[in-house]
Amino acid sequence: MRISQLEKYEIIQLVEQSSTSVNKTLKELGVHKPTFYNWYNAYLERGYDALAPKQRAKKQYWNQIPEKERQRVIELALEKPEKASREIACLYVDTYKRFISESSVYRILKAQGLIQTPAFDLIRAADEFKDKTVRPNEMWQTDFTYFKIPGWGWYYLSTVLDDYSRFIVHWKLCNTMKSEDAAQTIEEALMKSNLHKNQMPKLLSDNGSSYIAKDFNTYIADQNMKLIHGRPLHPQTQGKIERYHRSMKNVIKLDVYYSPMELEHAMKQFVAYYNFERYHESLQNVTPAQMYFGRAARIIAQRQKIKQKTILERKRKYYSLQGVSKIYSDTFLGHSKPKKMLIGNKFYGINMKNRNKNLILN
């Protein structure tokens, strides 16, 4: 228990004015004798102010986030309130070319009260699929979902998603959910992707009536594509496009749309955000467009270089301010000091790289 400045002064006054011995008085007060004399000597030398608790110097760490960078994180979070702390961390690295971890961003925003419960439900993805695609346009997933527009009835959204990159290749808002609508969506997706006949992707769909129809299967065969149906009553097979539909609806259905044109406008904005701005956790925090167009590997490698450079600069700055940069220079530059082994009354310095033994007198 810490004793305040006033309490220390009162104890000194009690001891000075006590008619009993110092030892007995301190014993009754529960104060150790060395502690009391430390207070008393300080009081005699510097007066009442010397009894004030010592202000402990705040310990500094080499990886402490500078205040300037903290302010940048807060400003970025205020500019992009829809992004989570993970996305803010990635956006910060890509924007300012300075590394900051997701946990650091979370702590900074949490201290400012900027971490809020999202307006929609979040769920974690299940275990990863064992048979993974290895390149864009190797396999597409397609599915329908539906919206009800007041005064207009039901409308059906047909979507084509690239399995490798999660990129939305094409989407179409339809009045019906027939095989002609599914075929038209695939036709427009092929025109957008501009693939050659020998580059046609496989197509993964569920067992909906539009996908098992004879007309649709004939169209797919004419396009030199292979149609794969998921297992009945097992939507996890098309888990990526099902998860996209949930993420999309969590945002789109926050508003009410009174015409198909309003819904289409909202869909255009969301798909552009999803493809080109939203950092996807399962893609190592790059956007679907960066993965689809082959820029992901370069961006991930650049982030690793930024991380190493930022950490090195923080270490150098910290140790230079502490005046011990010489001591730690070998440590963070990747060098190791030779180990020493005691033999008799001598030390042998052993260089672990070339195994040469240099005799060093003790």
Query: Which CATH number goes with the domain that contains 258?
Result: 3.30.420.10
Q: Residue 224 pLDDT more than 50?
A: yes
- Whether residue 329 lies inside any domain: the answer is no
Q: Residue 282 pLDDT more than 80?
A: yes
Q: From CA 4, how far away is CA 24, in angstroms rounded?
A: 22
Stretch 181-192: mean pLDDT, rounded?
95
Contact 319, 328 (CB under 8 A): yes
- Whether residue 331 lies inside any domain: the answer is no
| Judgement on whether residues 213 and 255 belong to the same structural domain of the protein | yes
| Judgement on whether residues 308 and 275 belong to the same structural domain of the protein | no
* pLDDT at position 3: 83
| Judgement on whether residues 250 and 191 belong to the same structural domain of the protein | yes
| Judgement on whether residues 174 and 301 belong to the same structural domain of the protein | no
The better pLDDT of the pair 129, 97 is held by: 97
Stretch 317-323: mean pLDDT, rounded?
80
Q: Comparing 17-31, 115-129, 248-262, 331-345, which segment has the lowest mean pLDDT?
A: 331-345
* pLDDT at position 118: 59
| Judgement on whether residues 224 and 192 belong to the same structural domain of the protein | yes
CA distances in angstroms from 60 to 66, 93, 106, 290, 321, listed in the order given? 11, 24, 20, 38, 11
Q: From CA 161, how far away is CA 155, in angstroms rounded?
A: 19
- Whether residue 82 lies inside any domain: the answer is yes
Q: From CA 174, how far away is CA 269, in angstroms rounded?
A: 18
- Whether residue 345 lies inside any domain: the answer is no
CA distances in angstroms from 181 to 95, 140, 185, 219, listed in the order given? 41, 17, 6, 12
| Judgement on whether residues 248 and 271 belong to the same structural domain of the protein | yes
- Whether residue 328 lies inside any domain: the answer is no
Q: Comparing 29-33, 54-58, 281-285, which segment has the lowest mean pLDDT?
A: 54-58
Q: Residue 336 pLDDT more than 80?
A: no
| Judgement on whether residues 83 and 178 belong to the same structural domain of the protein | no
Contact 322, 329 (CB under 8 A): no
- Whether residue 334 lies inside any domain: the answer is no
**Phi, psi of 227, deg, nearest 5:** -95, 130
Q: From CA 214, how far away is CA 211, in angstroms rounded?
A: 8
Domain that holds residue 307: 62-116+297-323
Q: What would the pLDDT profile of 107-159 be if each residue is shown by its tens digit?
A: 999 988 888 665 555 555 445 556 689 999 999 999 999 999 999 999 999 99
| Judgement on whether residues 244 and 305 belong to the same structural domain of the protein | no
57 pLDDT band (50/70/90 cuts)?
low
> How many domains in the chain?
3
Q: Is the dihedral of CA 255, 259, 263, 266 positive or negative?
A: negative
| Judgement on whether residues 80 and 157 belong to the same structural domain of the protein | no
Q: Residue 354 pLDDT more than 80?
A: no
**Pick from 280, 277, 240, 253: nearest CA to 119:** 253
Last residue of a domain, one of 13, 31, 51: 51
| Judgement on whether residues 286 and 152 belong to the same structural domain of the protein | yes
- Whether residue 338 lies inside any domain: the answer is no
Q: Residue 329 pLDDT more than 70?
A: no
- Whether residue 87 lies inside any domain: the answer is yes
Stretch 65-76: mean pLDDT, rounded?
92
* pLDDT at position 362: 35
Residue-by-residue DSSP string for 327-348: HHHHHHTT--PPEEEEETTEEE
| Judgement on whether residues 202 and 278 belong to the same structural domain of the protein | yes
Q: Residue 328 pLDDT more than 50?
A: no
Q: From CA 296, how far away is CA 38, in angstroms rounded?
A: 64
| Judgement on whether residues 155 and 266 belong to the same structural domain of the protein | yes
Residue type for 74, please?
Answer: I
